[in-house]
Amino acid sequence: MENDCMTTRAARASLRLACDLAMAPTTRYVRNIRSAFWRELQHGVPSTLIQAFLTAGLNPDRLDAQNTPPLVFVADQGSVALADLLIRAGANVNASNASGISPLMAAAMENRAEMMRALLAAGADPEQKDALGQTALMKAACYGDYDYGAYEAVEYLLNNGADVMAKTKQGKTALYYAMDPDVRALLERAKMALVRAKRFSTMGGAPT
């Protein structure tokens, strides 16, 4: 019962902050509003309070204390419904954190194909690069839910415009990062298909 009461009080406090945002967005409440908004995001569901904050005019790209955009955090956690709520509120699908990690990269690193579908449909750039020059495809090949690469994520990105030949600042491609043999084979096939397509294009023919 005590926990229920505490939860109710916290919810009411957050709702009051949402009202404060609507009434006086330039007051001292702004810092508390940001904290309350991020606390709600961490629950991983599109709650009424999150909707209230956004409806009241809270910036859906408001950074946390580590300069992480909400959509990057949500993409990493995997709540497609919450990501959709932020996107509909105007969140930038290509916003990145201090290391240049975008929402699509965060989803690729966790092998979240459904999240990647939602982000790409909303205009996420598969060729966006982080501070090291890595793309979402490279992240998927390297991390993939920390299981030596994610086949599903890599395959989905390749089928949706990811460039298998994209290079980092050091000239490395996704193949360099792929440790899983199935992922490497998938990338090799994509690379060969691209090479054949370019060869036939210069010859004026069509690949078979």
CA-closest candidate to residue 103, choices 132, 75, 142? 75
| DSSP codes of every residue in 146-182 | TSS--HHHHHHHHTTT--TT---TTS--HHHH--SHH
Residue range 120-178, pLDDT digits in tens: 999 999 999 999 999 999 999 988 655 555 888 999 999 998 999 999 999 999 999 99
Q: What is the pLDDT of residue 36?
A: 83
Domain enclosing residue 133, as ranges: 59-203
98 lies in some domain: yes
25 lies in some domain: no
Q: What is the pLDDT of residue 116?
A: 95
Residue 92, number of CB atoms within 10 A of its CB: 18
44 lies in some domain: no
DSSP 8-class letter at 205: S
Is residue 150 within 8 A of residue 158, CB to CB? The reply is no
Total structural domains within the chain: 1
Q: What is the pLDDT of residue 5?
A: 41
Residues of the chain with pLDDT under 70: 1-31, 144-149, 201-208
CATH code of 148's domain: 1.25.40.20
Q: In the chain, how long is the greatest CA-to-CA distance?
A: 75
28 lies in some domain: no
9 lies in some domain: no
- The pTM of the whole model exceeds 0.85: no
Handedness of CA 19, 22, 24, 27 (dihedral sign): positive
173 lies in some domain: yes
3 lies in some domain: no
Is residue 14 within 8 A of residue 38, CB to CB? The reply is no
23 lies in some domain: no
Q: What is the pLDDT of residue 47?
A: 79
DSSP 8-class letter at 89: T
